[in-house]
Amino acid sequence: MTPLAQQSCEACRSGAPAVAAEEQDIFMMQLPDWDIVDEAGIKQLQRVFRFRNFVEALVFTNRVADLAEEEGHHPAILLEFGKATVRWWTHKIHGLHRNDFIMAARTDALYNS
Ligand SMILES: C[C@H](O)[C@H](O)[C@H]1CNC2=NC(N)=NC(=O)C2=N1
């Protein structure tokens, strides 16, 4: 399978299938620093990215925002001093789509670049 970080999002539509449990487990092997959290009954991917200060966290936040705009798929980001908490889920299906795992991997690639 093509690594998630080398994939792009597909246009996501209402009614698109959520990722099955088995596929989710396979994807999560490529995302060791991410957790699956439940926010108001909606499964989401979450990772806390750490930085030396607020400005570095802001720069990263803006890079993730640019990626989101390129892909048409958007995260929730909490920006704090020295931290950026990123959560990915698909609003249309109120859960996790393949796109969310792709974007989490692409977010890791930004952090490591
Ligand atoms: C019209 C627009 O493309 C859609 O509303 C997109 C925008 N970004 C999105 N981002 C996420 N995370 N989930 C969505 O369902 C979604 N839908």
Query: Could you tell me what percent of the chain has a pLDDT over 90?
Result: 91
Taking only the tens place, the pLDDT of each residue in 43-83 is 999 999 999 999 999 999 999 999 999 999 999 999 999 99
Atom of ligand 1 nearest to the CA of 90: 13
Ligand 1 close to Cβ of residue 50 (< 6 A) = no
Mutate which of 44, 71, 90, 107 for ligand 1? The one with the most ligand atoms within 8 Å of its CB, which is 90
Ligand 1 nearest-atom number relative to CA 103: 12
| Model pLDDT, residue 12 | 82
Residues 6+ away with beta carbon under 8 Å from 32: none
Q: What is the mean pLDDT of residues 82-107?
A: 97
Average pLDDT over residues 26-43: 97
Ordered domains of the chain (ranges, CATH):
19-112 (3.30.1360.20)
How does the average pLDDT of the chain come out, rounded?
A: 96
The predicted complex's ipTM stands at: 0.96
pTM of the model: 0.96
Q: How large is the average pLDDT for residues 103-113?
A: 97
